[in-house]
Amino acid sequence: NKIKDLLNAEHPESDITVHGWVRSKRDSKNFTFLELNDGSCLKNLQAIADEDIGTYDVLKDINTGASVEIKGDLIESPGKGQKWELKAKAVALVGGADQETYPLQKKRHSDEFLRQIAHLRPRTNKYGAIFRIRSEASFAVHQFFRERGFHYVHTPIITGSDCEGAGQMFRVTTLEDTKKPVAEDFFGKAAYLTVSGQLDAESYACALGSVYTFGPTFRAENSNTPRHAAEFWMIEPEMAFADIHDNMTLAEEFVKYLIWFLMENCKEDLELFFNFVDKELEAKLTNMLTNDFERVEYREAVKILENSGEKFEYPVGFGVDLQTEHERYLTEKHFKKPVFVYNYPKSIKPFYMRQNDDGETVAAMDLLVPSVGELIGGSQREERLDVLDSAIEKMGLSMEEYGWYAELRKYGTVPHAGFGLGFERLLMFVTGVTNIRDVIPFARTPKNLEF
Ligand code: 4AD
Ligand code: MG
Say whether both 346 and 250 belong to one domain.
yes
The domain that contains 160 carries what CATH number? 3.30.930.10
Say whether both 162 and 273 belong to one domain.
yes
Per the domain annotation, does 444 fall within a domain? no
Per the domain annotation, does 412 fall within a domain? yes
pLDDT at residue 161 above 90?
A: no
The domain that contains 23 carries what CATH number? 2.40.50.140
pLDDT band with cut points at 50, 70 and 90 for residue 108: confident
Mean pLDDT of the chain: 96
Say whether both 45 and 189 belong to one domain.
no
CA 316 to each of CA 149, 349, 378: distance values in angstroms, whole numbers, following the listed order: 41, 17, 22
pLDDT at residue 80 above 90?
A: no
> Which residues form ligand 1's pocket by a CB distance below 6 Å?
163-164, 196, 198, 219, 221, 228-229, 232, 234, 236, 374-379, 418-420, 422, 424-425, 436
Count Cβ neighbours within 10 Å for each residue of 44-69 and write b for 16 or more, e otherwise: bbbbbbeeebeebebbeebbbbbbbe
Per the domain annotation, does 415 fall within a domain? yes
Per the domain annotation, does 299 fall within a domain? yes
* Mean predicted confidence (pLDDT) in 237-251: 98
pLDDT of residue 70: 98
* Mean predicted confidence (pLDDT) in 250-272: 98
**Coil, helix or strand at residue 168:** coil
What is the 211 CA–ligand 2 centroid distance (Å)?
A: 20
pLDDT of residue 167: 87
What is the 400 CA–ligand 1 centroid distance (Å)?
A: 26
Residues 295, 248: contact at Cβ < 8 Å?
Answer: yes
3-state DSSP helix/strand/coil % of the chain, to nearest 5: 35, 25, 40
Count Cβ neighbours within 10 Å for each residue of 355-379 and write b for 16 or more, e otherwise: bbeeeebbbbbbbbbbbbbbbbbbb
Per the domain annotation, does 113 fall within a domain? no
Domains in the chain: how many in total? 2
pLDDT digits (tens, 9 = 90+) for 312-348: 999 999 999 999 899 999 999 999 999 999 999 999 9
pLDDT band with cut points at 50, 70 and 90 for residue 115: very high
Residues 171, 198: contact at Cβ < 8 Å?
Answer: no
* Minimum-distance ligand 1 atom for the alpha carbon of 229: 26
Say whether both 90 and 126 belong to one domain.
no
CB neighbours (10 Å) of residue 129?
Answer: 21
Ligand found nearest the CA of 380: 1
**Coil, helix or strand at residue 219:** coil
Least confident of 218-222, 233-237, 413-417: 218-222
pLDDT band with cut points at 50, 70 and 90 for residue 106: confident
Say whether both 88 and 135 belong to one domain.
no
Per the domain annotation, does 418 fall within a domain? yes
Residue located nearest, by CA, to atom 6 of ligand 1: 196
Q: Which residues pair with 308 in a beta bridge?
A: none
Q: What is the H or E stretch that residue 354 is in?
A: none
Q: What percent of the chain has pLDDT over 70?
A: 100
Contacts (Cβ under 8 Å, ≥6 apart) of 411: none
Residues 352, 402: contact at Cβ < 8 Å?
Answer: no
For ligand 2, an ion, list residues with CB under 5 A.
377
Residue located nearest, by CA, to atom 17 of ligand 1: 376
Residue located nearest, by CA, to atom 29 of ligand 1: 228
Which of 161, 180, 181 shows the shortest CA–CA distance to 169?
161
Per the domain annotation, does 311 fall within a domain? yes
State residue 343 phi and psi, 5-degree precision.
60, 70
Say whether both 85 and 180 belong to one domain.
no
Say whether both 174 and 224 belong to one domain.
yes
Say whether both 433 and 286 belong to one domain.
yes
* Minimum-distance ligand 1 atom for the alpha carbon of 379: 11
pLDDT digits (tens, 9 = 90+) for 271-322: 999 999 999 999 999 999 999 999 999 999 999 999 999 999 999 999 999 9
pLDDT of residue 182: 92
What is the 5 CA–ligand 2 centroid distance (Å)?
A: 42
* Mean predicted confidence (pLDDT) in 436-440: 98
What is the 421 CA–ligand 1 centroid distance (Å)?
A: 6
- What pTM does this model have? 0.97
* Domain span including residue 24: 3-95
**Burial status of residue 324 (CB atoms within 10 A of its CB: 0-12, 13-18, 19 or more):** middle
* Mean predicted confidence (pLDDT) in 241-261: 98
Say whether both 331 and 390 belong to one domain.
yes
Residue located nearest, by CA, to atom 22 of ligand 1: 422
pLDDT band with cut points at 50, 70 and 90 for residue 390: very high
CA 107/CA 382 separation, integer angstroms: 56
pLDDT at residue 54 above 90?
A: yes
Per the domain annotation, does 446 fall within a domain? no
Which of 272, 293, 292 shows the shortest CA–CA distance to 282?
272
pLDDT band with cut points at 50, 70 and 90 for residue 81: confident
* Mean predicted confidence (pLDDT) in 364-371: 96
Ligand found nearest the CA of 322: 2
